[in-house]
């Protein structure tokens, strides 16, 4: 089982001021349409060439539309780059929009 957190847990951690890095692995057009404030875009297809941009000194939350691509990204970074600081946003930005921040557009 790969490490996940719920949208509510992510919201609580952000509200507490925890130093998290949010990485969105969706496509640029998806990211342009809606995103969680403070996230950076590294599309899944670019992750192998941009893995050095993923910090290993603080928790990193990986985000996609429903949590599938971000789980793939997490597995890749764990197994190929030995990251141990990764969390997947369960349900992705869709769950975030529905359960935490309705101002983030649904698609």
Q: Mean pLDDT score of the chain, rounded to an integer?
A: 97
For the chain, which domains are there?
A: 4-100 (3.40.250.10)
Question: What pLDDT score was predicted for residue 2?
Answer: 80
Question: What pLDDT score was predicted for residue 69?
Answer: 97
Question: What pLDDT score was predicted for residue 5?
Answer: 96
Question: What pLDDT score was predicted for residue 15?
Answer: 97
> Residue 26, class by beta-carbon neighbours within 10 Å (0-12 exposed, 13-18 middle, 19+ buried)?
buried
Rounded average pLDDT over 76-94: 97
Across 43-62, b (16+ Cβ under 10 Å) vs e yields bbeebeeeeeebeeeebbbb
* 3-state class percentages of the chain: helix first, strand second, coil last, to nearest 5: 45, 15, 40
Determine how many CB atoms are found less than 10 A away from the CB of residue 86. Answer: 24
Question: What pLDDT score was predicted for residue 68?
Answer: 96
Rounded average pLDDT over 94-98: 98
* 26 pLDDT higher than 70: yes
Question: What pLDDT score was predicted for residue 1?
Answer: 66
Residue 101 tokens read as 């921040």
What single string gives the DSSP state of each residue in 7-29? HHHHHHHHHTT---EEEE-S-HH
């Amino acid at each position: 089982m790969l490490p996940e957190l719920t949208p509510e847990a992510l919201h609580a951690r952000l509200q507490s001021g925890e130093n998290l890095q949010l990485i969105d692995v969706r496509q640029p057009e998806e990211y342009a349409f809606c995103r969680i404030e403070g996230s950076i875009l590294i599309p899944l297809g670019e992750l192998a060439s941009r893995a050095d941009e993923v910090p290993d000194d603080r928790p990193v939350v990986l985000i996609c539309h429903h949590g599938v691509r971000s789980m793939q990204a997490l597995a890749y970074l764990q197994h190929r780059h030995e990251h141990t600081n990764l969390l997947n946003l369960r349900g992705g930005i869709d769950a975030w929009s529905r359960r935490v921040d309705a101002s983030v557009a649904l698609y």
